[in-house]
Chain A
């Protein structure tokens, strides 16, 4: 299967994560400075040159566990701390949004436009921080360079690889349910109306040719769909109108309560048969570079609490519905704390990411790095 999925995975999932964090921080009326700092820190880490280079190396897509670990690290590059359960819920939301985009994307090539929508929005978030903005632009150029030459067949293979990765995930998202893009069983609605993708003809016509290639007959057949001609194609350049809406910030206009997720408990979860393979750990270790997990003890709870997914009133409502026996909704509470000591340490590390330093290989071999990472992950879980 495709070996070049990871950069798109991170841009799209990371993008969704940023949309959610941005919306929640604003909903909580967090100070503008703090919001900006959180966004800058995460984006700077995500678009760090070394990080991106690692992602661009041909490799299989990560397991869910590995991906979640890396995304948690990304979120923790900011001044927020998310507990494991909250991170899991955030991950589900990001993943379901990405699955929705992948599934409904009209042509495989449109996956690039979806990615560029995310990058465009990310650019907006950091428009006042030139150094990070520059990183985003550079990464965008690299992505264009790598993915533009791929054929439609190769892009479909990439999409199929990601669809396999997202298979069997049917977490219900209240935002999607309300908009009727997701059914109560967690499956997305596939419409049989609307414009056909660019390059496809509206179904319904049979053309018959003579042996010399001249069209001699036209027949129509009933199609059971209601399709119209394709609309104009979006821009694949650094800047431009992407035309398709998938990948844009769907949370910016929504009220805070619509980012609930609920598990359908009757479905079986996609469990990994093996723990992370050594190889995967090595990849992760390289990816994270010098980034160490800080502050395992979240004792010092000074600073702002961010309840990412419900306001107080909704919590009461949800608890009420819980008592009435509806097991299908969980209260999702994402708590973030600010710690001044952590702040300083993070500022130092964030500083390291903006420099391009070729540090010598530490004396530890890859297997030791792997074990360190395992320990770190155990502490997380």
Chain B
């Protein structure tokens, strides 16, 4: 039986037999406050040596962090606040929170209207703070940081509303983090950024950055980052982007997902995936499963196959999950195989989880 035939059969069976559904809903994790309507509003960090998974969800000027033990018995919560100079309690809104995984450490990065905060992975200590240039009197152009990615061994890249990308050099331990470079390529606000997540050293492209007009920039990291390619948008915001095996997967406000070859910009496929704005994409690097989630209440799971030898990319739809009456704002796999995934929605005070049967 061909792979496609298997998938067709599986889908048919899923519709007729509940016990054969690809994923089942698990017990949700309650969080201290509800999720805000922000792109990519869920980050997950799996800590295998301690049988723990961390989750983070942004609520206005705070980040809700939950540490969940794999046996489902222990949950501990922490809330982190946004920071701004000269004020004890900041009301500045946080745009995004994400863990950056580097070879020797994991850093939790928070981006807000005022700046960029970096913490040790459990959120216990702030190791670095970078203030954004905010004008004395507010201008119509909003100022904020958004878009976070760990690149190769030692870089953390963060996007800015002006379109700039800040590149931070991160040592293997300690707080001697420095701003190494500012990449000025985008003219519109950065929406999301992603680094190559397959683990393959053969991929030339290390980072892709996306902006509000849908333009994508593909970079190679180094002492000086090098722009490899620019993929033009069609004036539609790209709200979420991933990079896997040299393939850019981009989700747009129109509900479309597009797959491009990063280096050349050649389009492999275009999917009319959702009926509303896409808010989150994720890839499980070991299996090639792709997760997409949108304001239309739907989470969809796809399977991506990339064959570098033939430069071919295949995408197959695997599964749908409708989160009733919810505008989804975050969806991430909880492990590298895509065995489980978690979802957040606007105004929801829980992290909904699904696992393969």
Contacts and interface: CB of A to CB of B under 8 A. Distances in A.
Do chains A and B stick together as partners? yes
Interface of A: 1-4, 57-60, 103, 106-108, 151-154, 156-157, 159-161, 163-164, 167-168, 170, 183, 187-190, 192, 196-197, 199-209, 211, 213, 219, 221-225, 227, 273-274
B144 to A, nearest CB: 7
Given A206-B269, A208-B269, A222-B11, A1 B93 contact: yes
A164 B60 contact: yes
Contacts of A204: 272
A202 B275 contact: yes
Contacts of B89: 273-274
Contacts of B355: none
5 contacts: A4-B140, A152-B236, A192-B298, A203-B272, A213-B266
B121 interface: no
A209 B253 contact: no
Given A152-B237, A156-B253, A163-B36, A209 B268 contact: yes
Nearest to B270: A207
Interface string B241-284: 00000000000011110000000001111111111110000000
Nearest to A57: B138
A151 B271 contact: no
B272 A199 contact: no
Most buried by A among B142, B275, B311, B327: B275
A196 B237 contact: no
B230 interface: no
Interface in B4-21: 11, 15
Contact of A103 (B189, B277, B327): B327
A225 B34 CA distance: 26
Given A4-B140, A205-B272, 12 more contacts: A59-B138, A153-B189, A163-B37, A167-B36, A189-B325, A190-B296, A190-B297, A192-B297, A199-B236, A201-B256, A203-B273, A222-B317
Nearest to A217: B269
Interface of B: 11, 15, 33-34, 36-38, 59-60, 89, 93, 95, 113, 137-142, 144, 188-189, 191, 211-213, 235-237, 253-256, 266-277, 296-298, 311, 314-317, 320, 322, 324-327, 346-347
B330 to A, nearest CB: 13
A108 B211 CA distance: 17
Contacts of A199: 236, 254
A244 B310 CA distance: 48
Given A1-B113, A164-B60, A201-B255, A213 B212 contact: no
Nearest to A187: B325
Nearest to A1: B93
Nearest to A59: B138
Contacts of B33: 168
A224 B317 contact: no
Contacts of B271: 205-207
A201 B256 CA distance: 8
A181 to B, nearest CB: 11
Contacts of A3: 138-142
B326 A163 contact: no
A19 B352 CA distance: 39
A36 B101 CA distance: 64
Nearest to B89: A273
Contact of A153 (B38, B213, B314, B324): B213
A152 B239 CA distance: 11
A58 B139 contact: yes
B212 A168 contact: no
B267 A151 contact: no
A189 B141 CA distance: 33
B268 A208 contact: yes
A107 B277 CA distance: 8
Contacts of B269: 206-209
Q: Which 10 A-B pairs have the closest CB atoms?
A: A153-B212, A221-B317, A153-B237, A201-B272, A163-B37, A58-B138, A224-B320, A205-B272, A58-B140, A190-B325
Nearest to B4: A219
A213 B191 CA distance: 27
B254 A201 contact: yes
A153 B34 contact: no
B237 A211 contact: no
